[in-house]
Structure 1
Amino acid sequence: MLLFLYLITYIDKVNIGNAKIEGLLPDLHMNGYQYNIALSIFSIPYILAEVPSNISYSIFLARHTILGIIMTCTGTIKNFCEMVAVRFLLGLFEAGLFPGAILLISRWYLPCGTQTRLALLYTSAATGGAFSGLLAFGIAKMDGIGGYEGWRWIFIIEGLLTVIMGVVCCLLLPDSPALSKWLDEDEKRFLTLRQVTRATVADVDESKNHNNLLTFWTVVSDWKVNLLILANWSQAVPNYALKFSLPTIIKGMGYKSANAQLLTIPPYACGAISSYVLSVFEDRYNWRLPFLVGPQVAVVIGYAVLFVKTPDIKHNIASCYFAVCLACSGLYPILSAVNAWNIYNTAGPAKRAISIGYLICMGNVGRIVGSYIFIEREAPRYPTGYGTSLAFGAAGIVAAFALEFFLKKSNKRNAQLGEDEIRARYTDVQLYKMGDRSPLYVYKL
């Protein structure tokens, strides 16, 4: 259910890029810079609303209803997407979907199985990118029907699909194993008790007494989260830029709009496959670093090739198209790896909910940067776009290695103290309140 929800909203998110090459800009009398503003307008409310939305998920029980409302509002608004002001509302309503979905996954599955589920969720984003090109190719053929241009029909049809999924979500998506209709009583008890037995006393105490402001500050000041934010930017900046520019980039290779729409499918398919395959190995070996750095290296190589080859793109179509596929193969595994590492090393339901929202929120700050790096007048070279993406990919590699180093260092330092010495220094209540900052807490690599 979550996979289909995120698939539909991702299609809603990227189809403005498909609409662009079908005549959106001239019909609305917009230039390239105004298009960049329209993209960034979406990100501002998206960023501001993500943490509050996850706080609401941690307080209210009817999470599936909230997700359903988000979907319905998103689909309704999408029918009026030509208005920049409505892009703002679209970002506001869609903000809670992805962090809410991650939080829901963390309440169904143990951390050792979270990565694969997150990868499946994020794989739907890559699949959504592929379907977006295919749908846009077909829907654009409706040009002139009802007096509407083809690009308007893209928004109308895909917006209606989102409304339908919002209603389905309210009816079918369960908040917890105990509320599911397809599990028998023994299975429900097993899944519920499995979550209870892995919870610490701090989890239980925290769930009874929410102090969201204090918890938010512990998240903001957490060095682990801040390093993960930098690692997240290695995909957030280039990915947000690429998904709105990919049809234009491929069209710049000399293809017509219809063929450019179809040629956006293979790069997204590469991203979907790599995201899932790497997640399976990551959960099996239970080690995050190589499965985060590996995709980041692919991103760096892909954008380095594009930076060098695009000045003569029409004579380097094969190498540039391969580089786009390689970049997508690296971009999509990163977000699920970052979020799984965050869930692994965050104790307490309230802090976990806020840290998930905050990590995605700050990752989306990178979206604002990504909205402006592909400058229309620089086509087809886009040195700012490819160079900035390359730099953020390299910075993410440094952040990933730094996180691994400091986690190992913290575990080693805590191990040297000994449990008796720690308990002599702190009371049980103090240790519980420290959560993942407790010297007894062992960080997962």
Structure 2
Amino acid sequence: MDTKEKAVEALEYIEKGPESKPKPGLSEDDREWLAQIDAREQNRIYHKVDRRLVPMLALGLEASLGMTGDDYNVALVVFFIPYILCEVPSNLLLSKFSRPSVYIGILVTCRVVIMTMSGVTQSFAGLLVTRFLIGVFESGFFPAAMWIVGEWYPPQKTQTRMAMFYLASAASGAFSGLLAAGLAQMDGLGGYEGWRWIFLIEGIVSVVIGVMCFFTLPDSPTKASWLKPDEAKFLELSHIAFREVKTTDLEDEKKHVNWGILKEVMTDWQLYLQGVVFWSNTVPNYGLKFTMPSIIRNMGFESTTAQLLTAPPYTCGAIAAVLSALWADKLSWRMPFIVAHQLMLVVAFSVLFSFAAEIQNNIPLCYVMVCLACIGLYPIIPGNNSWTINNLAGAEKRAIGIAFMIMIGNSGGFAGSFIFLERESPRYPTGFGSSLGFATAGILAALLLEFLYWSHNKRHEHLTEQEAIAQYGEKELEKMGNKSPLFKYSL
């Protein structure tokens, strides 16, 4: 089979999908033009987008404040309240901006200014106020980033890009340990404690990145001056073929709020199950993220050494997220890779739960299990988000639906903020036990999703487009979205 024949075959898959159901939106001339773009050229164009889009998305305390008991946990919850409640309104607002870069630039800049203020606050009450405001402005960034990835890339390329973005979270976990160890040596410099220098230095760097978003974050292929006309045309037509909507066809939708879409999102059963899958990451992740230095200190290491030893687990998680995404995108199959990593969590937390009380006698085993926990944690979210956004019909529903699912998933941050309690050190029965339970629940949710998606596809596989139009009508089928018998869920 020559290159052109492969391109035609790929285009037929793009337009018809694995069930040979044709998708509307492309003219005959457009289809013929797309057929001339071979796989190598397609990859070159997407890699060009990678260099512009993904890096910009990726860039994107206790004793000094008199915090005692559960005060630190309370500070985390104060952050999560606005962080969760503002995610859907934020993406709803984002969908009305003709330039997403402006909206994201506002979010990032406001967030880092307030974060910098956290570094100079002198009271626990002041910390709570700044944490609340950080939650407000940070809430919209992650859902917005996930939506933007879905607008630039086809379904079989989303998870790898989401993993590269989420890689920044794992990398920041590794780097923050190294940074904290270094800045701890600045304690007392200029009259500030070491932890305040972390907020100040990270804040200054982040302000620069926030301002860069206004100018360097690409909005759409038609507005990207760094794309050649043919490259922009390819991305635009591919988006129509994959997502069934033009990126420039949304101007009318930007003028008003479609409350029907909001209702459709809130009654979509899959989003609640995807939220449970998300919980299998957020609950143990948020708890482990803020207590890992303490867990490693319980192994007998000094504070600075404990901070340095937090880097390898996050590095392992980052590598696992990318490798898992590459295979999931290659096979266009999400569930096995999500469940496999959830099973790693179950193993890791089971061992830690069993041996944490005697952690100093089992240091190598427990440290390996901490690494295994990170390997299990970090691939879940890219797979979960990709699985979700690929199964939402329509640009506006994707914007609101992904934010709604992430809102449900991030509510696990409330639990994650309170499960690892200092008074339960070193065994942390509540922390390890709860993490084990949520990981198990996530496995069951992922398996149920796979079964329900497969059942829907199987139930309607023999229905032709002509039969569906005769039964429902074209306009009604469009309105039905995910409920349409022609809609095929991505596994």
Q: TM-score, normalised by structure 2?
A: 0.84
The residue type paired with residue 376 of structure 1 is E
- For residues 144-170 of structure 1, the C-alpha deviation after alignment (integer angstroms, 9 at most, x for no partner) is 111111111111111111111101111
Cα distance in structure 2, aligned partners of 1:105 and 1:25: 37
Q: What corresponds to 1:408 in structure 2?
A: 454
Q: What corresponds to 2:407 in structure 1?
A: 361
Q: What corresponds to 2:105 in structure 1?
A: 68
Higher gyration radius (CA) = 2
Q: What corresponds to 2:296 in structure 1?
A: 250
Cα distance in structure 2, aligned partners of 1:80 and 1:437: 48
- For residues 64-93 of structure 1, the C-alpha deviation after alignment (integer angstroms, 9 at most, x for no partner) is 111111111111111232511110000101
1:8-27 paired onto structure 2 within 5 Å: 8=59, 24-27=61-64
Q: What corresponds to 1:77 in structure 2?
A: 114
Q: Could you say what secondary structure the match of 2:86 adopts?
A: helix
1:198-213 paired onto structure 2 within 5 Å: 198-200=242-244, 208-209=252-253, 211-213=257-259
How far apart are residue 117 of structure 1 and its match? 0.3
1:59 aligns with 2:77: no
The residue type paired with residue 432 of structure 1 is E
Q: Percent identity?
A: 48
How far apart are residue 211 of structure 1 and its match? 4.6
Given that residues 203 and 348 in structure 1 are in contact (C-alpha distance below 8 angstroms), is that contact kept between their aligned partners in structure 2? no
Cα distance in structure 2, aligned partners of 1:226 and 1:95: 19
How far apart are residue 188 of structure 1 and its match? 1.5
The residue type paired with residue 232 of structure 1 is F
Q: Could you say what secondary structure the match of 1:174 adopts?
A: coil
Given that residues 286 and 417 in structure 2 are in contact (C-alpha distance below 8 angstroms), is that contact kept between their aligned partners in structure 1? yes
- For residues 340-369 of structure 1, the C-alpha deviation after alignment (integer angstroms, 9 at most, x for no partner) is 111111110110000111111111100011
- For residues 281-300 of structure 1, the C-alpha deviation after alignment (integer angstroms, 9 at most, x for no partner) is 00111111111101100111
- Higher RCO structure, 1 or 2 (CA under 8 Å, sep 6+): 1
1:207-222 paired onto structure 2 within 5 Å: 208-209=252-253, 211-222=257-268
- For residues 183-231 of structure 1, the C-alpha deviation after alignment (integer angstroms, 9 at most, x for no partner) is 2222122112221233436999877445532211211111111111111
Q: Could you say what secondary structure the match of 2:327 adopts?
A: helix
Q: After alignment, is 213-222 or 346-355 more displaced?
A: 213-222
Q: Which runs of 5+ in 1 are unaligned?
A: 10-23
Cα distance in structure 1, aligned partners of 2:116 and 2:65: 15
How far apart are residue 52 of structure 1 and its match? 1.1
Q: What corresponds to 1:297 in structure 2?
A: 343
Cα distance in structure 2, aligned partners of 1:199 and 1:29: 52
How far apart are residue 62 of structure 1 and its match? 1.9
The residue type paired with residue 289 of structure 1 is M
Cα distance in structure 1, aligned partners of 2:158 and 2:280: 21
1:105 aligns with 2:142: no
Cα distance in structure 1, aligned partners of 2:441 and 2:247: 34
- For residues 383-427 of structure 1, the C-alpha deviation after alignment (integer angstroms, 9 at most, x for no partner) is 000000000000000000000101111111112455444323211
1:374 aligns with 2:450: no
Q: Structure 2 vs 1, CA of residues 35 and 7 (structure 1 numbering), >3 Å: closer, same or farther?
A: farther
Q: What corresponds to 2:196 in structure 1?
A: 152
1:88 aligns with 2:132: yes
Cα distance in structure 2, aligned partners of 1:346 and 1:8: 27
Q: Could you say what secondary structure the match of 1:346 adopts?
A: coil
1:109-120 paired onto structure 2 within 5 Å: 109-120=153-164
1:339-358 paired onto structure 2 within 5 Å: 339-358=385-404
The residue type paired with residue 341 of structure 1 is W
Cα distance in structure 2, aligned partners of 1:204 and 1:432: 18
Q: Could you say what secondary structure the match of 1:415 adopts?
A: coil
1:271 aligns with 2:308: no
The residue type paired with residue 88 of structure 2 is V
Cα distance in structure 2, aligned partners of 1:319 and 1:198: 46
The residue type paired with residue 103 of structure 1 is W
1:46 aligns with 2:92: no
Q: Give the paired residue count.
A: 431
Given that residues 207 and 350 in structure 1 are in contact (C-alpha distance below 8 angstroms), is that contact kept between their aligned partners in structure 2? no
Given that residues 270 and 449 in structure 2 are in contact (C-alpha distance below 8 angstroms), is that contact kept between their aligned partners in structure 1? yes
1:193 aligns with 2:222: no
Given that residues 7 and 128 in structure 1 are in contact (C-alpha distance below 8 angstroms), is that contact kept between their aligned partners in structure 2? no
Cα distance in structure 2, aligned partners of 1:202 and 1:79: 40
1:314 aligns with 2:360: yes
Q: What corresponds to 2:439 in structure 1?
A: 393
Given that residues 280 and 439 in structure 2 are in contact (C-alpha distance below 8 angstroms), is that contact kept between their aligned partners in structure 1? yes
Given that residues 36 and 372 in structure 1 are in contact (C-alpha distance below 8 angstroms), is that contact kept between their aligned partners in structure 2? yes
Q: Structure 2 vs 1, CA of residues 335 and 211 (structure 1 numbering), >3 Å: closer, same or farther?
A: same
Q: What corresponds to 2:27 in structure 1?
A: none
Cα distance in structure 1, aligned partners of 2:468 and 2:285: 44
Q: Structure 2 vs 1, CA of residues 7 and 319 (structure 1 numbering), >3 Å: closer, same or farther?
A: farther
Q: What corresponds to 1:165 in structure 2?
A: 209
1:334 aligns with 2:380: yes
Cα distance in structure 1, aligned partners of 2:311 and 2:484: 47
How far apart are residue 260 of structure 1 and its match? 0.9
How far apart are residue 237 of structure 1 and its match? 0.6
Q: Could you say what secondary structure the match of 2:460 adopts?
A: helix
Cα distance in structure 1, aligned partners of 2:217 and 2:244: 27
Q: Structure 2 vs 1, CA of residues 253 and 57 (structure 1 numbering), >3 Å: closer, same or farther?
A: same
- For residues 290-349 of structure 1, the C-alpha deviation after alignment (integer angstroms, 9 at most, x for no partner) is 111011001111111110010101111111111110010010110110111111111101
The residue type paired with residue 66 of structure 2 is H
Q: What corresponds to 2:471 in structure 1?
A: 425
The residue type paired with residue 456 of structure 2 is S
Cα distance in structure 1, aligned partners of 2:234 and 2:425: 57
Given that residues 102 and 356 in structure 1 are in contact (C-alpha distance below 8 angstroms), is that contact kept between their aligned partners in structure 2? yes
Given that residues 54 and 99 in structure 1 are in contact (C-alpha distance below 8 angstroms), is that contact kept between their aligned partners in structure 2? yes
Given that residues 207 and 349 in structure 1 are in contact (C-alpha distance below 8 angstroms), is that contact kept between their aligned partners in structure 2? no
How far apart are residue 444 of structure 1 and its match? 1.3
Q: What corresponds to 1:18 in structure 2?
A: none
Q: Structure 2 vs 1, CA of residues 242 and 324 (structure 1 numbering), >3 Å: closer, same or farther?
A: same
- Larger fraction in helix: 1
